[in-house]
Amino acid sequence: MPLSLIEGALGGIGLFLLGMRLMSDGIRTVADARIRRIFSLFTSNRLYSVLFGIAMSMAVNSGSAAVVFTIGLVNAGVLNAFQAMSVLGGVLIGASLTLHLHIIPYSLIATPLVFTGVLFKFFARRRRFTNAGDLLLGIGLLFLGLTLLEGSYRPINHHPLYEVFSGIFYRMTFMAALFGAIVSFLVQSASSSISIIASLMQNHQLNAELSSAMVAGGLVGVAFMGNLASLGGNSISRRVAALFLGMSLIVSLLFVLASPLLMDAGLPGVTPVSGADVFSRLSWLHSAASLFAALCSVVLSGPVSRLLASTDRSPHTNGADSAQPCASYLDIRIINTPTIAIDQARKEILRMMHVASFMYADVREILFEYDSRRAETIRQHERVLDSLNHEITSYLAVLSRSTKSAEISYEIPGLLHTVSVLEHIGDRCEEVLDGIIARKEAGAIFSAAAMDDLKILIAVVGDVMAATEDVVRSGHPLETEALHQLKHTARNRFEAVKQAHFERISSGVCPTQAMMLFSEMESAIVAIAELCWSILGMPVRRAG
């Protein structure tokens, strides 16, 4: 295979992955409560979700790109599993419709999106426009990568890839289906993949059975792109992508097994039919397979969402994915029922507490064994806390204005305080992470005594965090005597660590750079405990 084709493929995949990452981050930052309500309206039931998927797939003229967008929306918390499965079904239908309708190719809008995204990202003064620039730049780079990737495999006649694979994939039905999946994954466009299969059918004298198997295998290639897009995302997006791939694989195998019947139904045998007629018949076969797969996806959306909910439900997550960056329980429509509304707010605050606990646990692990993936998880959890802080605060503000219950009005300030403290705990955890990364990049080495002191701090604050989580879960403050004992023990340990650090500085054992990094990390860890004190002595809900 010529080097230029390999370069084009690698460059296209690289741009695609970069654009996918920027797009996911852009969706997460741009998708505020208003945008989430709009998406919720567009996907409020199965029919609307399917129509939304059809419109999105036809708008970008690429089923793979639309699948990536859908997984990005799931990862950003804009769509849940029930909505996503129906949207993905609509994406398959929309991708097949582009075979019969002339749509503007995504390659024409790639460079304008990149240019607009760069302008917004680097020259806009408002944060909203800067975040929108990240989103547009990500979409543009994603389209640009798809264009480059497709161009590398678009020359059909005498293409080295197809010539090399001719003896492997053009003889067995299941191998032909695998080849169809590879082609669909590489060229990213249903029209291009059908064009390639139609050309191969004529140039290599393929029969209808092998050609129909290639078309059916194309569904797997599109679905696999969703699994690629879910890498680094939350557990819901990964599971939705995996289930969608499994469903597409089953549908593809069914169509492969039915390929002899499809051949007898009127697909051309070899070359006597014109190229346009071959493309048309293969297009209708693709549409039939996509429609059947979409129907399965829509029907399975309910069971899939219930399955994911049941597997995510644990005593530590309370049934919600900790990485989901939006409120799962808050609904403005129940604000007129204050007792239910306040109970939903408590659930979100408990979930926020879980996220903060996960952040601290990750910080504790990464402090002694650095892991870049764990570091990214900490960053994601910090964004979740910021989003929940905004949503819960706004929700409680609306509730305080609408309720006439004195008991609920009495409880709201305490809940607001708890939300604010938990968000600040996330900030302090991120400061510890920044110190860990700075130490790694600077190559600073802590002495064994310093590392032992950090272990002491982490263990003490871990006990404080566990007590705080118990208070938030139960809604009742820690007993005064127990609180004083916990504070006394923790502060004695803090003072001992500070004294030991001062002695190392005085003796010249601790270099200046290591001294500064240790002091910053120590202050951030101690600050987490001090933030917890205000929750431990205050009820999250009014007793009785």
pLDDT tens string for the chain (544 positions)?
444 556 666 777 777 777 777 776 777 666 666 676 777 778 878 888 889 888 888 877 778 778 888 888 887 777 878 888 889 989 888 888 877 776 666 667 778 888 888 888 888 777 777 878 888 888 888 777 777 766 665 544 455 555 555 556 566 777 878 878 877 777 766 777 777 777 777 665 567 777 788 888 888 888 888 887 777 666 778 888 888 888 888 988 888 887 666 555 544 443 444 456 777 777 888 888 888 888 988 888 888 777 776 655 443 444 344 555 566 667 677 788 888 888 888 888 988 898 899 889 988 888 888 877 788 888 878 888 888 888 888 888 888 888 888 888 888 888 999 999 999 999 999 999 998 888 888 888 888 888 888 888 999 999 999 999 888 888 787 788 888 888 888 899 999 988 888 888 888 777 778 888 888 889 999 999 999 988 887 655 543 3
Question: What is d(CA 53, CA 60) in angstroms, rounded to the nearest whole number?
Answer: 11
Question: What is d(CA 122, CA 165) in angstroms, rounded to the nearest whole number?
Answer: 45
- The domains of the chain are located at 3-312, 332-536
Residue 70 confidence (pLDDT):
86
Tokens standing for 34? 């208003």
Question: What is d(CA 120, CA 116) in angstroms, rounded to the nearest whole number?
Answer: 6
Report the length, in residues, of the chain.
Answer: 544
User: pTM here?
Assistant: 0.62
* Angstrom distances, CA of residue 43 to CA of 62, 92, 196: 20, 16, 34
Question: What is d(CA 110, CA 127) in angstroms, rounded to the nearest whole number?
Answer: 23
3-class SS string, 427-487: HHHHHHHHHHHHHHHHCCCCCHHHHHHHHHHHHHHHHHHHHHHHHHHHCCCCCHHHHHHHH
Using CB atoms within 10 A of its CB, is residue 17 exposed (0-12), middle (13-18) or buried (19+)? Answer: middle
Domain 332-536: give its CATH architecture: Up-down Bundle (1.20)
Q: Residue 214: helix, strand or coil by DSSP?
A: helix
Distance between alpha carbon 473 and the CA centroid of its chain, in Å?
Answer: 28
Q: Which residue has the tokens 């809940």?
A: 415
